A and B are shown apart, each in its own frame.
Chain A
Amino acid sequence: MSSINVKVGDLALNSPLILASGTCNFGHELSSYYDLSILGGLSSKGLTLLPRLGNEGCRVAETECGMLNSVGLQNPGVESFIKNDLDYMNTLGTKVIINVAGHSIEDYVGMVSRLDQFSSKIDALEINLSCPNVRAGCMSIGSERDQVSEVVSAMRKLTKLPLWIKLTPNVTDIKSIAYAAQEAGADAIVLINTLLGMVIDIKTRRPVLHNNTGGYSGPGIKPVAIRMVAECASVLSIPVIGCGGVMTYEDVIEFMIAGASAVQIGTGSLVHPTLPVKITEDLIDYVKKNDIDLSSLTGTLRMW
């Protein structure tokens, strides 16, 4: 009793906390702040087949309860990652989750077949069907049920690695898309990526972001994420991983009650790099005081 261990499908994690893709790079920087082995896992910066320079101009706009970013998937490309960062991630003592992004089904298939060659160094592939900052990009695939089904089925044939599908919240019916991913062979669903937003500079009457729009993250999006986790968990048989605005241990518990088996921390790390250390300590206190296993909270929500 009193453990914070959790499981996502067959994958056992020593903590429900996973660093969210795009907010921890490949772990080099944050490992100078704390021992990352306290985490359940680390999800890499979103990778593409070829290197991407990302968007030009201003990439961040602050809001009252969070921020918008339009980085545009700047990344060194999968080959550079395999050469320079994959082995490093394996030294961190936490689960290695590789975030995979693309523009087309062919991109995803190419990435998954390449990464599957390194399956002994990878614990899960997180398929990013949700980046809002790339034109004609992955969010458009993640918004169409049939396309989600097609891309997940195609990847499923190529790997035995757990496939976690990270979905965009910028859709009308998240349940049907999550369900389509499950039926096509997904092992878990990650909810949610950023919400598409815009911030306007009232002096210039132009968007702050040079990409005009960006992905909204931070505490402001948490209620949306909680709602989507609860909705999807009620119809899925595969695990859900919660993500969106986690700043405290209570947020983690809220996500788990809603139905999450594990919880990602993203923007919180940008504000306080050692936030996961504090949340881990608080979760350990919580399970001790309540004499429960944290995993027993998952899906205990009682709707009115």
Chain B
Amino acid sequence: MTVSELNKEYRAVLVEKKQLNEDTFYLSFRCPDIAQKAIPGQFVNISCSNFLKRPFGVASTDVANGLFYVGVKTIGKGTNSIASLNEGDMVDVLGPLGNGFNFEGFDSFILVAGGTGVFPINFASEYLQAKNVKHTVVQGFRCKSQIVMNRPEYVLSTDNGDVGIHGNCCDCLDTLDLSLYKNCAVCCVGPLPMMKAVGAWATKNNLKCFVSMEQRMACGIGICLVCVCKLNAEAEGQEFKHVRCCKEGPVFPYEEVIF
């Protein structure tokens, strides 16, 4: 491996910060390598005021300007410190990390997003759009004030019926005419109960489903083994195995995950 091929820890400048709602921000950082290499479903690890970096699914890239985008929902001290950065501030970044969605072998996609999953699903939609691949985005939110990264053509639900379909993502999925989706796969990023329900819906409809798992992480590069998720391992003669979310994942086929 030559030096130029080695992975790096980058210093990246915050180029722009937008507040999307009360606790959610959209940030762009300049890092041409990450902008160039990232594919949908991959993540970056960004330094914060706390000890460990924080993982964020890549939300978009602007290769011409060397930018990558992430969505940050403020949860604790670490995410708050990142959301409090000013344009021009520098961070340490590792990435792109993990395996993204493998779109090979399918002709159309249903992309399902909940929570901060709207960010990686945005990147997936942009990517498929650029390649002219048929796809539909389904978003589920708790209520109107939570809606971010939405576009008019998306199928939308809210738990309280504020806007869109009154219900959850599966209620949206039930409204789709599946005969219009040839050789279709479902890609889902969201809270665990949502991914479990969407996976079950896909299975019922004979569709392959990929989910993006989230775990508390430390290194993000596969050396500490703290972010494992539980996969079915009957084929290997055991009930389950622990695989690294950051390295073998975060995207896994739904049927392999033990929720």
Residue among B216, B219, B230 with max Cβ neighbours from chain A (10 Å): B219
A282 proximal to B (CB < 8 A)? no
Main secondary structure of the interface of A (DSSP, over half): loop
B78 contacts which chain A residues (CB < 8 A)? 62
Chain A, Cβ-Cβ closest to B246: A29
Question: How many residues of A sit at the interface, in one of the four size bands?
Answer: 35 or more
A158 proximal to B (CB < 8 A)? no
Task: Scan B204-241; emit 1 where CB is below 8 A from any A CB, else 0.
Answer: 00000000000111110111111110100000000011
Main secondary structure of the interface of B (DSSP, over half): loop
Known: A54-B242, A62-B50, A271-B53. A69 touches B228 (CB 8 A): no
Query: What distance in Å separates the Cβ of B230 from its nearest Cβ neighbour in chain A?
Result: 7
A88 proximal to B (CB < 8 A)? no
Query: What distance in Å separates the Cβ of A257 from its nearest Cβ neighbour in chain B?
Result: 25
Query: What distance in Å separates the Cβ of A71 from its nearest Cβ neighbour in chain B?
Result: 5
B92 contacts which chain A residues (CB < 8 A)? 272
A29 touches B222 (CB 8 A): yes
A53 touches B240 (CB 8 A): yes
Known: A62-B50, A269-B219. A71 touches B94 (CB 8 A): no
B9 contacts which chain A residues (CB < 8 A)? 33, 272-274
Q: Of A25, A33, A67, which contacts B8 at CB under 8 A?
A: A33
Chain A, Cβ-Cβ closest to B50: A62
Interface size on B, residues (CB 8 A): 30
Q: Of A60, A71, A74, A274, which contacts B217 at CB under 8 A?
A: A60
Q: Of B52, B225, B226, which contacts A271 at CB under 8 A?
A: B52
B142 proximal to A (CB < 8 A)? no
Query: What distance in Å separates the Cβ of A116 from its nearest Cβ neighbour in chain B?
Result: 27
A71 touches B225 (CB 8 A): yes
A62 touches B52 (CB 8 A): yes
B180 proximal to A (CB < 8 A)? no
Known: A22-B224, A53-B242, A74-B228. A271 touches B51 (CB 8 A): yes
Known: A64-B51, A67-B52, A272-B9. A59 touches B241 (CB 8 A): no
CB contacts under 8 Å to B, within A239-298, are 269-274
B218 touches A60 (CB 8 A): yes
Q: Of B6, B218, B221, B247, which contacts A67 at CB under 8 A?
A: B218
Q: Of A25, A53, A56, A62, which contacts B51 at CB under 8 A?
A: A62
B241 contacts which chain A residues (CB < 8 A)? 53
A65 vs B92: C-alpha distance in the bound complex, in angstroms?
A: 18
Chain B, Cβ-Cβ closest to A214: B226
Chain B, Cβ-Cβ closest to A219: B51
Known: A33-B8, A65-B51, A69-B226. A273 touches B247 (CB 8 A): no
A271 vs B217: C-alpha distance in the bound complex, in angstroms?
A: 11
B1 proximal to A (CB < 8 A)? yes
Known: A32-B7, A53-B241. A58 touches B216 (CB 8 A): yes
A62 vs B226: C-alpha distance in the bound complex, in angstroms?
A: 12
**Residues of A bordering B, CB below 8 Å:** 22-25, 28-34, 45, 53-54, 56, 58-67, 69, 71, 74, 218, 269-274
**Residues of B bordering A, CB below 8 Å:** 1, 6-9, 50-53, 78, 92, 94, 215-219, 221-228, 230, 240-242, 247
Lowest 9 CB-CB distances: which A-B pairs, in order? A60-B226, A270-B219, A59-B226, A29-B222, A270-B218, A33-B7, A71-B225, A32-B7, A60-B216
What 11 new A-B contacts, CB under 8 Å, besides A33-B221, A54-B225? Answer: A23-B224, A29-B223, A32-B1, A53-B242, A58-B216, A59-B228, A62-B50, A270-B219, A270-B223, A271-B219, A272-B92
A-B contact pairs, 29 of them (CB 8 A): A23-B219, A23-B223, A23-B224, A24-B223, A25-B222, A28-B222, A29-B221, A29-B223, A30-B223, A31-B1, A33-B7, A34-B6, A45-B225, A53-B242, A56-B242, A58-B216, A59-B225, A59-B227, A59-B228, A62-B52, A64-B50, A65-B51, A66-B51, A67-B52, A74-B228, A270-B219, A272-B9, A273-B221, A274-B8
